[in-house]
Amino acid sequence: MILPPLAVRAERAFEVIEDRFHLGDGQYRESLGSDSPAFAWGHGVLLSAFVAMAQNAPSEKRRALYRTRMVRHIHTLERLYWRREGPVAGFNASAGQTTGLDRYYDDNAWFGLALYDAAEILQDRAVLTLGHRTLDYVLSGQDARGGGGLWWKEDKRESKNTCSAAPGAVLALRAARMPGARPDATTLARRLRSWLQSTLRDPVDGLYWDNINAATGAVEKTKWSYNSALPLRLEMGLAAHWRSPVYQGEAALLAEASRRRWFDPTRKLIQDDACFAHLLTEALIQASQATGEQRFRDASLATLDTLWAAVQRPDGVYPAKWALPPDADSKPGQLIAIASAARAYAYSIPSQAEARQSS
């Protein structure tokens, strides 16, 4: 079977998003059959997908279209989700909430990463400032309980999670490359890495557990692919920043452990929830670039072929889980699932071209 290029697959996903999920004025529904606005997590994935197409769409005309959508989306998110209440302002989980706060540090980390990329594309000082303010919110989730790390949720400080500490550290390291960055950004990234390794890293396979209960010290040992994908990105980022073979070696080991855990070579698919798996496809592509090992890139590209050919539903939406046989649940399509596919396709466009040149 000859499959369309990744750019075409991405465009198809975005067509469905605009036709079936867009509520107007940059707001998107949580799921089909509902007019409820999406939660912050889905919007964070979608913003990162717009960013990837603004970078990688094959023509300037198409890149300009996605820059426009990206800007519209940022304005909508700032207007409807940004809450200025203290102690530090940040993005709320839901739109238009008028009483109380419902803020997650991991939601804000995803927004921050996309905002820094958007600021770089647009050369826009206001977007850069919003990225810096988002980083400030994320890092306000630190304290000494449980030895460090980052809380998961602001108003219910029970667990400290890999899904907040790892992207928070990646965000701090990303900030260090931006104008006006806080001077302690790289120090904070390394501190979070040390906490993650000492607290939530499985010494047997090097992969990362989900969270620790700060009151009891009990570790929730479920492993999700994104909870190793973001530590992998962190190791690669630190290796590039400090030119250290220690971080480079850790990255190679973690990439291979992640590939072995989640990539099924028979089914040719990273099998996990869509909102987690797309982040591992991205991290493995970066690992291939950092280490020169094509097997990491090949696992991601094979996954995206299977995703298009065998996991995608006939109506162009995607199930909540990347799995074969395809997810048999009857749930309506969710924004976060199709945005995850759109991001994965769009981010990987240059890697597909590289693979073709090397074959």
What digits encode the pLDDT tens for the residues 84-135?
Answer: 998 999 999 999 766 778 999 999 999 999 999 999 999 999 999 999 999 9
Confidence of residue 355 (pLDDT cuts 50, 70, 90): confident
Residue 257's domain spans which residues? 6-358
The three-class DSSP label of residue 218 is coil
Paired with 38 in beta bridges are none
Question: For position 61, which CATH number holds?
Answer: 1.50.10.20
* End-to-end Cα separation, the chain, in angstroms: 18
Instruction: Evaluate whether residue 125 is within a structural domain.
Output: yes
pLDDT at 329: 66
DSSP string, 58-121: SSHHHHHHHHHHHHHHHHHHHHHTEE--SSS-EE-SSTT--SS---BHHHHHHHHHHHHHHHHH
Instruction: Evaluate whether residue 39 is within a structural domain.
Output: yes
- Chain centre to alpha carbon of residue 97: 24
Q: How many folded domains does the chain comprise?
A: 1
Average pLDDT over residues 195-209: 98
Confidence of residue 353 (pLDDT cuts 50, 70, 90): confident
Instruction: Evaluate whether residue 141 is within a structural domain.
Output: yes
Query: Would strands 219-220 and 272-273 be described as parallel, antiparallel, or unpaired?
Result: unpaired
**Is the pLDDT score of 340 beyond 80?**
yes
Average pLDDT over residues 76-91: 95
Instruction: Evaluate whether residue 272 is within a structural domain.
Output: yes
**Is the pLDDT score of 330 beyond 80?**
no
User: Phi/psi at 3 (nearest 5 deg)?
Assistant: -95, 150
Residues with Cβ within 8 Å of 9's Cβ and at least 6 positions away in sequence, in order, are 3, 304, 308, 341, 345
The three-class DSSP label of residue 179 is coil
* Residue in 183, 279, 278, 188 with CA at minimum distance from that of residue 233: 279
Helices (H), 176-244: 185-199, 226-242
Instruction: Evaluate whether residue 1 is within a structural domain.
Output: no
Residue 165 to residues 16, 50, 108, 233, Cα–Cα distance (Å): 33, 24, 12, 12
> Token pair for residue 10?
């991405």
pTM listed for this prediction: 0.97
Instruction: Evaluate whether residue 44 is within a structural domain.
Output: yes
Report the alpha-carbon angle 193-226-52, nearest 5. Answer: 105
Residue 53 to residues 49, 111, 157, 188, Cα–Cα distance (Å): 6, 16, 36, 30
Average pLDDT over residues 233-246: 94
Instruction: Evaluate whether residue 171 is within a structural domain.
Output: yes
> Token pair for residue 300?
């991601």
**Is the pLDDT score of 9 beyond 70?**
yes
Distance CA 163, CA 170 (A): 11
Distance CA 220, CA 200 (A): 9
Structure confidence by residue, pLDDT tens digits, 31-46: 999 999 999 999 999 9
pLDDT at 208: 98
Instruction: Evaluate whether residue 251 is within a structural domain.
Output: yes
